Structure 1
């Protein structure tokens, strides 16, 4: 839990001096995070008339497959919100994972997130600090990770999380951003790609 407080403190410590009309928090207009091709400034859309349209505006999807996901997808996993996610994006010791299928990732993602699709997560633990051994993976040195997918109704990251834990990843090093891309877009936060 201290990692979450540290991550939130990092966000607050990097707040620029000036503020726009639509801030992340009262004194936090934006956050700069490292991403694949340099730094990206994450801020909210400044147009107060902006609205979500298209797929992201849909409130109802068939269940199954699109059932409301639990806040904690597996015992020991820590749920997080946007402020904690922003802190993790600035923390070089945390890997933020977009666990959606590749075409969803390509259509737009949280800046700084890497793509590890949910159906590949348990086989790619070596990218998250685990060592491949004869019995599978040794995850004693596993990295802290934060996973997300499309939103509260999306089962991709919960599935990835459960598969990772079954493959030996420590649940206490996994954080789950349940709101995913729908909540990120709802708040008008910066999206890269797509």
Structure 2
């Protein structure tokens, strides 16, 4: 009887088996190339009891400057969700840009994203397929680019999109992941260390 009670106590102390957490019904993970070479796997947290905490759990920030951003930050820009962003991460022609300041990028980002802080975006269009010319940039061969920042209340990537367009980047080549890092983390998706 003592052994039975000990076994039952041990079983009660063990975590329950987690139900698998996929990205979609048919996709459990995606592998994306990294800017410096190699690859990373994006999947979701498998702990069914997982919760976000810290700054990512905060729901309210003072407005201004942290006002809710429009779903489309500028005419011609296409809003996208997580699945479209993952497809762009896998597309060798596309580029996914974390528009946050370097400190935030270094605190964790979406695997495969490159950091071009919003304050530098309009000056670094050559990294996105534009060529420097006498008048600024020729963006005839601009790459499709997805921008994101901290979340729906963060104005960094919307500001980057508007500045890029003013500098000559075609709006139809810009995609905006409005959910940003907050939504990415809320879904338990992989984050760089």
Corresponding residue for 1:98? 98
Task: After TM superposition, list the pairs within 5 Å mapping 1:1-194 onto structure 2.
Answer: 21-35=20-34, 36-193=36-193
Cα distance in 2, alignment partners of residues 172 and 37 from structure 1: 28
Give the CA deviation at 1:37. Answer: 4.3
Question: TM-score of the superposition, structure 2-length normalised?
Answer: 0.89
Corresponding residue for 1:16? none
Give the CA deviation at 1:115. Answer: 0.5
The answer for unaligned runs of 5 or more in structure 1 is: 1-19
Cα distance in 2, alignment partners of residues 112 and 140 from structure 1: 25
Corresponding residue for 1:14? none
Q: Deviations over 1:135-168 (max 9, x none)?
A: 1101011010000000000000000000000000
- Pairs aligned (count): 174
Cα distance in 1, alignment partners of residues 83 and 126 from structure 2: 28
Cα RMSD, aligned residues only: 0.8
Q: Deviations over 1:18-70 (max 9, x none)?
A: xx700000111000101134111100000010001000000000000000000
Secondary structure at the counterpart of residue 40 of structure 2:
strand
Cα distance in 2, alignment partners of residues 26 and 184 from structure 1: 18
Secondary structure at the counterpart of residue 176 of structure 2:
strand
The answer for unaligned runs of 5 or more in structure 2 is: 1-18
The runs of at least 4 aligned residues of structure 1 exceeding 6 Å deviation read: none
Cα distance in 2, alignment partners of residues 155 and 145 from structure 1: 17
Cα distance in 2, alignment partners of residues 188 and 108 from structure 1: 13
